[in-house]
Amino acid sequence: MNLFEQFIFYFSMNGSYVLGQFWRHFLISIYGVLFASIVGIPIGIWIAHNRKMSTWVIGVANVLQTVPSLAMMSIIMLAVGLGVNTVIVTIFLYSLLPIIKNTYTGMITLDADVLDAAKGIGMTNWQRLKDVELPLSMSVIMGGIRNALVLGIGITAIGAFIGAGGLGDIIIRGTNATDGGAIILAGAIPTALMAILTDVALGWIERRFYNRVR
C-alpha cells in the first residue's frame, strides 16, 4: 500500500481514537486560552486606563513569549507535574501577550469624541466600559483571542511529550513506528485542520464585531 492508502486504512481502523484525541486536543487549547482571557482582558483594560503601566506589563508578557515552549513546560512541570495541567498553564502564559496587547490596543484607539459623548450624557465609568468601550473594542480583542487559540493548538501538540495526550500523541506514535508515515499524517492533518478551522471561525466572529460597530 502507498502512503495514502495506509493513511485511509489507519483512519478506518482507529477513527474513534483519533476523534477522541482531536476533542481532547481542542479542549486543552480552549481551557488555556479561556483562563488567559479571564485574566488578560481585565489586565488589558487596566493598563489602557493606567498607561504608565502598559510598558511594564506588556514587557513581562513579551519575556514569557521568548521562552521556548518545551522549556516552559519543563519549568512548569516541576511545580504542576506531568500531564494536562502543565500544558494548560503553558498555553495560559503564552496567550497572555496577544490577549493583553489586543485589549490594550482596542481600548486606546477608541474615538475620543465617542467617549466624551458617553461621559457627557452622565454614564458612570462602569457603564462606559460595559456599553461603549468593550463593544467597540471587541473585534480587536477577538483578534488577540484568535491568535492565542491558534498558538495554543500548536503548543498542545508538543504537550504530548509530557503525557497530555491529544493529536500530538498520535504523531509521536508515528515517529516511533518503523513505517509510521501514515500514523504521523493521522495526527498532523487533523491538527492542521483544527488550526485552520479555528482561525476561520474566529476570524468570522471578529469581522462580525467589526461590522457591527461601523
**For 58-82, what is each residue's pLDDT tens digit?**
999 999 989 998 899 999 999 988 8
d(CA 183, CA 56): 45
- Predicted model pTM: 0.93
Grid-cell match 503601566, residue found: 53
Retrieve residue 12's grid coordinates. Answer: 478506518
The whole-number pLDDT of residue 124 equals 87
SS3 state of residue 166: coil
Q: What percent of the chain has pLDDT over 90?
A: 71
Domains delineated in the chain: 29-213 (1.10.3720.10)
Q: Which residues contact 86 (CB under 8 A, 6 or more apart)?
A: 73, 76, 77, 80, 159, 162, 164
**For 29-51, what is each residue's pLDDT tens digit?**
999 999 999 999 999 999 999 98
Judge residue 92's burial from the number of C-beta atoms within 10 Å of its C-beta, 0-12 exposed, 13-18 middle, 19 or more buried.
buried
d(CA 211, CA 142): 13
The whole-number pLDDT of residue 213 equals 67
**For 95-117, what is each residue's pLDDT tens digit?**
999 999 999 999 999 888 888 89
The whole-number pLDDT of residue 1 equals 67
Retrieve residue 28's grid coordinates. Answer: 486543552
Kindly indicate the confidence band of residue 56, based on its pLDDT and cuts at 50, 70 and 90.
Answer: very high
Across the chain, mean pLDDT equals 92
d(CA 88, CA 92): 6
d(CA 214, CA 195): 28
With 70 as the cut, is the pLDDT of residue 210 above it?
yes
Question: Can you tell me the mean pLDDT for 158-164?
Answer: 91
Task: Choose the weakest-confidence range: 9-13, 34-38, 43-47, 135-139.
Answer: 9-13
Kindly indicate the confidence band of residue 214, based on its pLDDT and cuts at 50, 70 and 90.
Answer: low
d(CA 202, CA 145): 8
The whole-number pLDDT of residue 211 equals 79
Task: Kindly list the distances between the CA atom of residue 203 and the CA atoms of 94, 142, 214, in Å, as whole numbers in the listed order.
Answer: 20, 8, 17
The whole-number pLDDT of residue 12 equals 87
